[in-house]
């Protein structure tokens, strides 16, 4: 297993302008440069989500700074799944949704690293490169959810091809990708696009979901300003805000949920995970939560020198229990 040295810790957003501070894990078995990371990403098998065209139009490519990191994906007009297959498959699949404040998709420590850790545990992993709502799309608040629903349905429709049980397709999301995962688990049956083909007859409901330092609320002072701005636009009305506030939509159909947050997270308050946990408990849904003293934000698989590094093993053990 190889862990990337490119993460999102220290990533700041001010007025919609990204300034990346890349930090390295202090203890990794083998270093991988950003160039190696994007090269490897591009070499992985691809499954397009919408080969006949996306449900929404209006895409406008955004001008990027000359030093924009290639592993922070932007300007995605054709969303897709990158596929990572295990040496010893366990018959389960995992949809991974990296974060990036709905401003980019962080495929390094929240994509490639997670795929490496979970394929080592037998999972067939599908990392989602989803469309970003602030890049001109119509119905911007629905665009990421369209991609997440379609991804789940395509994985199930192709389960036999990949040797996975369609009843054991799970999902995990990070930061804004955690908001997307929470939206998927609470709005998996929301009609956000017209069916395209036989795959859309499949359920988009994950069997269980991991929410890792997720954005849950749009409440000022608790939610994440940039994520809300990119997803909802400026001055959204209350109906749109409520529609995309996952904790309001937990029901008896919401899948079992696993939550992870660092209490020293400077970007997304751990209150987001607490809000989701309270909603799950109120609805009497299965949930497990781990709050670590240290870890910050955007830690992906976690600093090997800190206890937060254990979250993937805890998540895998929890998934084993869900699978029965």
Contacts of range 311-320, beta carbons closer than 8 Å, 24 or more positions apart: 311/212, 311/260, 312/114, 312/117, 312/118, 314/258, 314/290, 315/172, 315/210, 315/258, 315/260, 316/118, 316/121, 318/208, 318/258, 318/288, 319/92, 319/170, 319/208, 319/258
Give the angle 7-171-64 at the CA atoms, nearest 5°: 40
Sign of CA dihedral 181, 183, 188, 191: negative
Of the options 3.40.462.40, 3.30.479.30, 3.40.140.10, 3.40.50.1820, the CATH number for the domain spanning 12-323: 3.40.50.1820
Phi, psi of 77 (to 5 degrees): -95, -15
User: Burial, 40: exposed, middle or buried (Cβ in 10 Å; 0-12, 13-18, 19+)?
Assistant: middle
Q: Per-domain residue ranges for the chain?
A: 12-323
pLDDT of residue 78: 97
pLDDT of residue 31: 53
pLDDT of residue 121: 98
What is the mean pLDDT, run by run of 10 residues, along the chain of 324 residues?
39 35 32 81 97 96 92 96 98 98 96 97 98 97 98 98 98 98 98 97 98 97 96 96 97 98 98 98 98 98 97 98 91
């Amino acid at each position: 297993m190889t862990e990337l040295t490119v993460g999102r810790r220290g990533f700041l957003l001010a007025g919609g302008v990204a300034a990346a501070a890349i930090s390295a894990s202090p203890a990794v078995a083998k270093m991988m440069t950003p160039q190696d990371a994007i090269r490897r990403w591009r070499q992985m098998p691809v499954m397009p989500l919408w080969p006949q065209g996306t449900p929404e139009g209006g895409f406008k490519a955004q001008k990027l700074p000359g030093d924009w990191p290639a592993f922070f994906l932007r300007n995605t007009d054709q969303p897709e799944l990158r596929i990572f297959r295990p040496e010893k498959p366990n018959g389960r699949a995992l949809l991974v949704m990296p974060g990036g404040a709905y401003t980019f998709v962080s495929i390094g420590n929240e994509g490639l690293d997670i795929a490496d850790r979970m394929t080592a545990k037998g999972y067939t992993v599908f990392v989602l490169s989803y469309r970003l709502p602030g890049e001109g799309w119509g119905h911007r608040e629905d665009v990421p959810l369209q991609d997440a629903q379609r991804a789940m349905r395509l994985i199930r429709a192709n389960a036999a091809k990949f040797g996975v049980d369609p009843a054991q397709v799970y999902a995990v999301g990070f930061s804004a990708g955690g908001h997307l995962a929470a939206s998927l688990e609470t709005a998996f049956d929301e009609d956000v696009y017209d069916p395209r083909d036989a795959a859309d007859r499949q359920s988009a409901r994950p069997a269980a979901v991991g929410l890792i330092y997720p954005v849950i609320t749009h409440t000022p002072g608790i939610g994440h300003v940039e994520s809300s701005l990119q997803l909802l636009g400026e001055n959204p009305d209350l109906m749109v805000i409520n529609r995309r506030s996952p904790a309001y939509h937990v029901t008896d159909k919401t899948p079992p949920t696993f939550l992870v947050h660092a209490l020293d997270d400077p970007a997304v308050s751990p209150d987001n995970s607490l809000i989701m946990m309270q909603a799950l408990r109120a609805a009497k849904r299965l949930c497990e939560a781990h709050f670590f003293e240290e870890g910050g934000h955007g830690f992906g698989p976690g600093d090997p020198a800190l206890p937060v590094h254990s979250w993937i093993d805890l998540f895998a053990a929890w998934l084993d229990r869900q699978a029965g």
